[in-house]
Chains A and B, each alone.
Chain A
Amino acid sequence: MSAAAESPLKQLWGEFAASKLALVGLALLVSVVMIAVFAPLISPQNPYDLAQLDVMSGKLAPGEQAMSGKTHLLGTDDQGRDMLSGIFYGLRISLGVGVVSTVIALVIGLFFGLIAAYFGGWVDTLIMRIVDIQLSFPAILIALILLALLGQGADKIVIALITVQWAYYARTVRASALVEKQKEYIEAAQVLALSKARILFRHMLPNCLPPLIVVATVQVAHAISLEATLSFLGLGLPITEPSLGLLISNGFTYLMSGKYWISFYPGLALLITIVAINLVADQLRDVLNPRLKK
């Protein structure tokens, strides 16, 4: 046990920073998020502004100069869109879709998981049966079925990503809530005749959060990867505001003629994002898991 004087947050950080690899991951993740947030300020070009695009300077190789005299560090795509700017804006959309869908799915999963654990009986059975059935199919298949049914669009893809994810949270929360339910402070709260909602959300919920944070971190990476995959298959976001997956898909056509950069660099950005999140999540899992504490 470390010194009692240390605040829990500081202690957590100390444990997290013990792994150099996790720190690298965190640094990468922070950079990626910063790029996504400040994309309009740091991009050489607004990739959605058609007036700024010049088809004449399409498919330029990385480092080549366009007719306008601008140098495109990572080249341009078929419409003369600067790849670096495209990637910065694409990151915004990929991260945005990933985070939004994860947060909504987390809230839904949290709600049903807590209810299942607290009430038990047929409520528990019903919710967990649905979770079981859903988790017996791969996420990609469920998402594909949904998109085949719903059609395309940003809202549809978020719905698909939420549907795919909520079951993981419900299961995780239920497991930790079942443990918490047995503890004395819940009994004490019940004896005080506090309302069920208060016990559930003010007392139980905060204590179920740590494992959930780990699952959520991993799930953001999954959601981003899944969105990219769906967009790559042509079932994701519309072409007007391309995410990384769509940029990759768009470049795939030109891959065979040796114009690798249109696909490769967005792919690299996607990869860095996913690996960075996974590195952070891996370390978080170790830090937040009480079973691994000595």
Chain B
Amino acid sequence: MLAYTIRRLFQSGFVLVVMSLLVFAGVYAIGNPIELLVNPQADEVEKLRATVALGLDKPLYEQYIVFLKGAVTGDLGKSFVFGTPALTLILSKLPATLELAFCALFIAVCLGIPLGLYAGLKPDGVIGRSIMAGSIVGFSLPTFWVGLVLIMFFSVHLGWLPSNGRGETVSVLGLQVSFLTWDGLTHLFMPAFNLALLKLSLLIRLTRAGTREALLQDYVKFARAKGLPAGRVIGVHVLKNIMIPIVTVIGLEFGGLIAFSIITETIFAWPGSGKLLIDSINQLDRPVIVSYLMVIVFVFIVINFVVDMVYSVLDPRVRLGGGAGGGH
């Protein structure tokens, strides 16, 4: 176990370094931010001064070393646009993104597992089939299109829900959250549902498939033969056994929620880190782009690492089969 953990940890670190190199090289090789940041009327002297002030005159590898040193100490440069440290900027927007992602996850789990369970127990019934058809549609729909239709229907047509922003927030443990005020909740509902839809469809399919498989197993047949009530058979024997893959997928998909929140946040003007990324790309605000990418890559590596560890505890075959070729 220790050997596996160390090997996995080493691999995570390696991925992080490679990604930092890729991100840095790419972002710093394109475009000339000076053209964008300095007043077009400014003379050469002024442009040169700005270049030196931003450290853009140094060779690339030197810039990378500065960047790497900064990354380790949590200093990834200042935003060209806002003039504040990029990392602080990202971290200040992160709670909004996390709130959205957690709400979406909550919706997906609370709806997806019961619906999937029902569809698995009654796969040939009208409701069971409708649930499956719904999940296929939910899978096919591009996230941004659903967001658009939601706005069209609930905001423009019915006028029930606001279409942008976080609404009123309250401070909990120093973090601003929307879900504790009525106004915030109305703002949160559509984006959260929009973000949840893909994962909801995925969970329905997973739970349904798991349930159908579990129902054929001997232990379920035995539990039934023992005369246990149906509720107990489903609640304990079936559900408990299908939870392992579901929990793993939930863990892995959480990163996906953060990635997809880029789209949802842009549509609903939710002031989170994803919207900040899109704004920064459009303004060529490189420190913010780099910081965002590094933060999200880091988050992903941590999530993948934790999920792998949890999985190897649940299923010893993973680590015993280890070695470089394992994991397929």
Q: Residues on A close to B: CB < 8 A?
A: 124-125, 128-129, 132-133, 136-138, 140-141, 144-151, 221, 225, 228-229, 232-235, 248, 252, 255-256, 258, 260, 263-264, 267, 270-271, 274-275, 278, 282
Contact = CB atoms under 8 A, between A and B. Distances in A.
- Scoring A128, A137, A258, A278 by chain B CB atoms within 10 A of each residue's CB, the highest score goes to A137
A138 B255 CA distance: 8
Given A128-B325, A145-B293, A264-B152, A229 B142 contact: yes
Contact of B142 (A144, A147, A274): A274
B140 A248 contact: no
Contacts of B282: 234
Given A148-B293, A248-B148, A255 B142 contact: no
Interface in B18-36: 22-23, 26-27, 29-31
Contacts of A255: 148, 151-152, 156
Contact of B141 (A128, A129, A258, A271): A271
B30 A232 contact: no
A178 to B, nearest CB: 10
Nearest to B136: A278
Contact of B144 (A125, A147, A228, A260): A228
A145 B23 contact: yes
Contacts of B293: 145, 148
B296 A271 contact: no
B163 interface: yes
B263 A233 contact: yes
Contacts of B327: 132
A128 B326 CA distance: 10
Contacts of B278: 233-235
B32 to A, nearest CB: 12
Nearest to A121: B325
B30 A149 contact: yes
A271 B141 CA distance: 7
Contacts of A229: 142-144, 263
Given A141-B262, A248-B144, 8 more contacts: A128-B328, A136-B300, A221-B140, A225-B142, A233-B263, A235-B278, A248-B148, A270-B142
Contacts of A137: 255, 259, 297, 300
Contacts of A258: 156
B260 interface: yes
Contacts of B324: 125, 129
Interface residues of B, number: 46
Nearest to B145: A267
A145 to B, nearest CB: 6
Contact of B30 (A132, A150, A260, A263): A150
Interface in B280-315: 281-282, 289, 293, 296-297, 300, 304
B167 interface: no
Ranked 9 nearest A-B pairs via Cβ: A149-B26, A141-B259, A138-B259, A225-B142, A138-B256, A232-B144, A267-B145, A125-B324, A148-B281
A151 B145 contact: no
B273 interface: no
A161 to B, nearest CB: 14
A150 B156 contact: no
B131 interface: no
Nearest to B281: A148
A225 B198 CA distance: 13
A8 B84 CA distance: 66
25 contacts: A125-B324, A128-B328, A138-B255, A140-B263, A141-B259, A141-B262, A145-B23, A146-B26, A147-B281, A149-B26, A151-B30, A151-B31, A228-B142, A228-B145, A233-B263, A234-B278, A248-B145, A248-B148, A263-B148, A263-B152, A264-B148, A271-B142, A278-B136, A278-B139, A278-B140
Contact of A267 (B148, B277, B297): B148
A289 to B, nearest CB: 15
A266 to B, nearest CB: 9
A233 B325 contact: no
A233 B276 CA distance: 12
B27 A148 contact: yes
Nearest to B151: A255
Given A148-B289, A148-B293, A140 B259 contact: yes
A283 to B, nearest CB: 12
A150 B30 CA distance: 7
A109 to B, nearest CB: 16
Interface string B25-67: 0110111000000000000000000000000000000000000
Contacts of B29: 149
Given A129-B324, A229-B142, A267-B149, A235 B156 contact: no
B247 to A, nearest CB: 17
A264 B15 CA distance: 41
- Scoring A146, A255, A282 by chain B CB atoms within 10 A of each residue's CB, the highest score goes to A255
Contacts of B156: 255-256, 258, 260
A274 B262 contact: no
B228 interface: no
Contacts of B256: 138
